[in-house]
Amino acid sequence: MPTYRPGPVSLALAGLVALFLLLPLLAVIPVSLTPSRMLAMPTGELSLRHYRALIEDPRWIDAILLSIRIGIVSSAISTVLALCFSLGVWMFQPRFTAALVGFVLLPMVVPPVVSAITLYFLLTSISGFSSFFGYDTWLGVAMAHSVMTVPFATVLILVSLSQLDRRIDLAARGLGASVWQRATRIIMPNIKFGIVTAALLSFVLSWEEIGVTLFITSVNAITLPRLMWMGLRDNIDPAIAALSVILIIITVLVLAVRSVMARQRGGH
């Protein structure tokens, strides 16, 4: 417990920053209720027509379903690959571990636009001999998203492994357990929280991925962020405001639930 508390000046400055951080999130609420067809403040009456558009317009529904499908597939790929890799690192501590982990983390630290042009090169090359796996296909997007999310999944799983007591694995090993038994019966049950978190984070990152997706899709694989982007660039579509309000509410609810759960478990 710190005994040195922020004074009134600190609090006032922090308040301004907090306002700055929340302002754009609050601003979308009135815009989403405008009866106008264009982006504008509602004058007088409010309307839910832009929320209705989200349910009635098949483009939004298709994009949401596609994003969910891509998110599940890419999250499964990146979680499985990250889990195997991390188990290898933790159980065998091979030489050059630092270099190998550094290599795996590259897509996370390289500027996203460079990853985007790299994956554009990959998928257009694949398009040369496969029409359902290359540029502008949902499988191609899922693979590209796996590349982008696998470093985050690896970090999370490695962190939860680093908190695991090595002695339980040594005990299993001493009692004659095989590598497969140690991995599936001893280690994985103990890091299941980390594995689930890695899968969820991978899904969320894929769900909102736009930088790479813009480079590797054009007209067929329209994910939800891609559709939002199209609506933001040309004529701004107020349906985006309605969608944004819904996404913000979901985020706030998830964070609130998480913080209540953390408080009940007594953690931070």
Exactly one of 63, 70, 73, 104 binds another protein (CB under 8 A); that residue is 104
Q: What is the DSSP string of 20-74?
A: HHHHHHHHHHHHHT--SSSS----S----HHHHHHHH-HHHHHHHHHHHHHHHHH
23 binds another protein (CB under 8 A): yes
Exactly one of 73, 82, 142, 199 binds another protein (CB under 8 A); that residue is 82
Give the interface segment with another protein, choosing from 44-52, 57-65, 85-93, 127-135 (CB under 8 A): 85-93
Give the interface segment with another protein, choosing from 54-62, 130-138, 190-198, 244-252 (CB under 8 A): 244-252
- Give me 266's structure tokens: 């007594």
All residues at 6 or more sequence positions from 67 whose CB lies less than 8 Å from its CB, including other chains: 206, 207, 223, 224, 225
Exactly one of 113, 168, 196, 261 binds another protein (CB under 8 A); that residue is 113
Q: How far is the CB of 31 from another protein (least distance, A)?
A: 5
Q: How far apart are CA 54 and CA 50, in angstroms?
A: 7
- Give me 76's structure tokens: 């499964």
Q: How far is the CB of 103 from another protein (least distance, A)?
A: 7
CB 52 within 8 A of CB 238: no
The footprint of another protein on residues 121-180 (CB under 8 A) is 121-122, 125, 143-144, 146-147, 150, 154, 179
Number of residues that bind another protein (CB under 8 A): 90
Q: Residue 165: what residue type?
A: D
188 binds another protein (CB under 8 A): no
Cα 1 → chain centroid: 33
